Amino acid sequence: MSSLFARLKSGTEQQHRELETLIDPMKNFCSLDAYKTHLLKTWAFYRPLEAELAALDWSTTGTEFESRRKTALIEDDLRILGFPHPAEKDNKMVLGRTNLNFAVGCLYVMEGATLGGQVISRHLAKLGIGPGNGGLFFNGYGEKTGAMWKSFQVSATHYCVVEGQIAEAVEGARWTFEKFRDSMNREELFNHVP
């Protein structure tokens, strides 16, 4: 494991555990209604964060950001599950810092979530949900998920090489875990699951 990824893992261990506790498959994927609520909360996190990250110039990082965006997948899943388009009120986010080192840390969390989505897909299969009927987001890149993770590891490791860059990436990852946790705790916005 590279120095960057070792630091990202150790520097976010607590935040990762806290988020995993909230995203308990036995609770969040035990029924269709629970899944819909979880997907809405995920959308409330991804949509504004991806918009902020897309405003950055990723060309120097070696990471093709556009191919990693997931908001459209979540919106497709929500539409299939009966949400024509989620309400966008109170759904803004401003990056803690607007530099690529911080953004690499954000993407570490998002790409790690894509990797973890493979496990969640197995829980969704028990509800009869797959990529074609509301489970596209958690399917990630499908069979290419592992390769996309490795590609991100290579590009991020080549981009964040000095201590200052690594420290900012860890800060970005912590910030992202915390924002994701906050989104999972926003019950007031998601009381009207059809």
- Extended beta strands in 35-191, E state: none
Domain boundaries of the chain, sorted by first residue:
3-86+97-189
Amino acid 92: pLDDT: 61
Residue 56 backbone phi and psi in degrees, to 5: -85, 155
Task: Kindly give the parts of the chain with pLDDT less than 50.
Answer: 192, 194
Extract the tokens encoding 57.
């110039």
Amino acid 98: pLDDT: 76
Amino acid 28: pLDDT: 76
Amino acid 137: pLDDT: 97
Amino acid letter, 118: Q
Q: pTM to 2 decimals?
A: 0.91
How far apart are the C-alpha atoms of 171 and 103, rounded to whole Å? 10
Amino acid 87: pLDDT: 63
CB distance 53 to 106 below 8 Å: yes
Short-list 6, 61, 39, CA closest to 173: 6
Extract the tokens encoding 3.
């120095």
pLDDT in tens, 66-108: 999 999 999 999 999 998 766 665 556 666 677 999 999 999 9
Amino acid letter, 24: D
Tell me the CATH class for 3-86+97-189: mainly alpha
